[in-house]
Amino acid sequence: MTSNTQTWFITGSSRGFGRALAEAALEAGDRVVATARRPEQLAELATEYGERVLPLALDVTDAAAARAAIEQAVARFGRIDVLVNNAGYANVAPIETGEEADFRTQFETNFWGVYNVTRAAIPQLRTQGGGLVVQFSSVGGRVGGSPGIASYQAAKFAVDGFTRVLAAETAPFGIRTLVIEPSGFATDWAGASMTVHDAPAEYEQTVGAMNTRMRQTGSRPAGDPKRAAEIIVQTAKRADIPSHLPLGVNAVDMSIAYSEAQLAEARRWQAVSRSADFAEEYPVEFPADAA
């Protein structure tokens, strides 16, 4: 092992981004704690890479199981350099007619799973003098507004807010954070792990359009998970890393357009916004209504 060898702890390692990232880290000479609900799906990794892989069963919604998995990882490899919260999924349904139980269950994995695993790892990262926490969000977790996946995107916004506070609280311990924001990639995100519920006629133009898109199988998403995984592994070995990393052409274009629109709106309304403070001039003229 070289001095730059890292130990990764990756949730949702059986397929998709998690599997690609585990393989990329191992190809880079690193060690990987690969977790999944069904650890038998990780057998090939253990066979190919031997002692550098520790496959573990983990349901991220179980806080006690998350703590136990972190303990097993440290017992095997001595430390955790990169924690990756990748496990997550989305189902498609309108807010109005989707089942509340399904909304909550998605949130349990997509947000509380991140909370459970991150919280379990913090004491180890703090004790060892640092580490990197990588949170998988999506470009939708930055720009939002995708009809039909409210629970998923709400959770991703929550993960972003949670991670910003985490970064502020743990920076003195040498802990760094990185939020990954992919656009469409050739993973199983919209495949077997997604349930697409029929949308009422009233939502045909919004959620219905999303349903049609999710059920199409003829076109392949633009993003290559292998390339993305290699980029993340290379980024994790750098001293200088971004706080957020959009991945994919659409992610970059959407992020820049959204940020520019936000800035333009804040400037257009700044006189009104400032006037709410006691010391500011009030009332002020509102921006003219758009034609």
Residues 46-91 pLDDT 10s: 999 999 999 999 999 999 999 999 999 999 999 999 999 999 999 9
If pLDDT is split at 50, 70 and 90, which confidence band does 1 have?
very low
> What does 247-281 look like in DSSP terms, one character per residue?
ESHHHHHHHHHHHHHHHHHHHHTHHHHHTTSTTS-
Backbone angles phi, psi at 141, to 5 degrees: -75, -10
**What distance in Å separates the CA atoms of residue 113 and residue 130, rounded to the nearest whole number?**
21
**What distance in Å separates the CA atoms of residue 49 and residue 27, rounded to the nearest whole number?**
9
Q: Is the confidence at residue 21, as pLDDT, over 90?
A: yes
Cα–chain center distance at 143: 14
Q: Exposed e or buried b for every residue in 64-100, given b needs 16+ CB within 10 A?
A: ebbbebbebbbeebebbbbbbbbbbbbbbbbeeebee
Average pLDDT over the chain reads 93
Domains of the chain listed by start with CATH number: 7-247 (3.40.50.720), 249-291 (no CATH)
Question: Which one is catalytic: 49, 89, 115, 152?
Answer: 152
pLDDT value of position 191 = 59
- Say whether the peptide bond before residue 283 is cis (omega within 30 degrees of 0): yes
Give the β-pairing of 82-85 and 53-57: unpaired
**What distance in Å separates the CA atoms of residue 89 and residue 22, rounded to the nearest whole number?**
18
152 is catalytic: yes
Name the residue with higher pLDDT: 290 or 225.
225
Residue 24, classified by CB atoms within 10 Å of its CB into exposed (0-12), middle (13-18) or buried (19+), is buried
- Please list, in sequence order, all residues whose beta carbon lies within 8 angstroms of the beta carbon of residue 273, skipping any fewer than 6 positions away: 266
Q: Is the confidence at residue 3, as pLDDT, over 80?
A: no
State both tokens at 118. Answer: 């991150």
Q: Which three-class secondary structure string do you get for 23-84?
A: HHHHHCCCEEEEEECCHHHHHHHHHHHHHHEEEEECCCCCHHHHHHHHHHHHHHHCCCCEEE
The strand pairing partners of 33, in sequence order, are 9, 54
If pLDDT is split at 50, 70 and 90, which confidence band does 186 have?
confident
**What distance in Å separates the CA atoms of residue 259 and residue 256, rounded to the nearest whole number?**
5
Question: Which one is catalytic: 14, 49, 115, 137?
Answer: 137
pLDDT value of position 190 = 54
Q: Is the confidence at residue 5, as pLDDT, over 70?
A: yes
Residues 92-132 pLDDT 10s: 999 999 999 999 999 999 999 999 999 999 999 999 999 99
**What distance in Å separates the CA atoms of residue 34 and residue 76, rounded to the nearest whole number?**
13
pLDDT value of position 193 = 67
Sheet holding 82-85, edge to edge: 53-57, 31-36, 7-10, 82-85, 131-136, 175-182, 244-247
